[in-house]
Structure formats: structure tokens, C-alpha cells
Amino acid sequence: MPVKIFGACKRIAWRSILNIVPTYTKKRFAPFTPSEMFELVGDVEKYPQFLPWCSDAQVGELQRAQDGREFFDAELRVAYKVLHERFLSRVFLDRENLKIEIGYLDGPFRTLNNRWAFLLKEEGGIKGVEVDFFIEFAFRSRVLGLVAGPVFGEAAKRMTGAFFQRAEALYGATSRFA
């Protein structure tokens, strides 16, 4: 009997390992207003100008959901070496609460969820924004997942860093508060 239980646990463990959904979270303070960062992240059409590996972005018509949030569909094309993919997402803009949620619609992923929150904060006597970022994804193809999985954390780190670099280029490096 113990062997059967061990074997069942072993199979469950392997399934869990193979179905892991990588996640990355980051909270970072910056000397910008929450609204500035919200607008920058919500401007998906400009992603190819500054976001690593984003080669094209097409944005659909802005609509209003029943809960009052605005949303649009966005198709992004990513290119890295020989890997060229496109994916379609629905982007929800919650202007009242300064939150952005991205839900996956179509493409190479089994799952893709992305959330941003922009909170007014003071750090070291400087007012600014705390950006709270979360992403999780899993590819449909196990082979693609095995190739991309190990570099996922570094790619997410470079991606989030690109948003802060873009904010500094647009708004300057000093606090926006008087």
C-alpha cells in the first residue's frame, strides 16, 4: 500500500512540475505621479518604441465594460532571435482606482495574466508612485515553455525596467510633486 501512495504522489508531483505557471511580481517606488505611470502603461500602442522584444502593437476601439472600466483589445507581436509570436489580450483600464488588468485572448499561451496598480506613496521624504506589477504565464507548447521558462524572470525584469526608463525619459528623473 505505501508503494501505491508513493507512486500516486510521485505522478502528482510530476504533473505539478510540468504545469507550473511562472509568476513575477515587483513593487517599485518612482518619483512620478500615479496618473503618469497609469497613462504610460495604458498606452499600449507605443510599446514598440521602448519595450524590449515588442515589434508591433495594434490596439482596438476603446469600449466601456458593465462595471464602468474602459477596455480595448490589443495585439502584440514579440520577436526574439528566431522566436516570432503574436498574442491578443484584453486590457482593462480602471482610471478611478489606477489599476490595469490584462487578460489573455489568443496566441501561444495557455494562460497569461498581468496586473498593474499605481499607488501614491512617500519614500524618504519624496512623494511618488509605488508601482505594483504582477504577471503569470504558461505556454501551450511545453517545448516553448522549457526554452522560455528559465529566462522568464530576467525578461520580466527587463520589461518592467523599460517602463521606468520610459517614464524618466518622458517626465524627468525628479519628483513631479511640488
Phi/psi of residue 69, nearest 5 degrees = -75, 150
Q: Which range among 31-45, 75-89, 160-174 shows the weakest confidence by mean pLDDT?
A: 75-89
Helices (H), the chain: 2-18, 34-42, 142-148, 152-171
Domains and CATH numbers, the chain: 21-171 (3.30.530.20)
End-to-end CA distance of the chain: 71
Instruction: Answer yes or no: are the C-beta atoms of 92 and 100 closer than 8 Å.
Output: yes
48-96, pLDDT tens digit by residue?
999 999 999 999 999 999 999 999 999 999 887 777 889 999 999 999 9
83-124, pLDDT tens digit by residue?
788 999 999 999 999 999 999 999 888 888 999 999 999 988
Which SS3 state, helix, strand or coil, does residue 148 take?
A: helix
pTM, rounded to two decimals: 0.83
Instruction: Answer yes or no: are the C-beta atoms of 93 and 71 closer than 8 Å.
Output: yes
Average pLDDT (10-16) is 34
Residue 148 has pLDDT above 80, yes or no: no
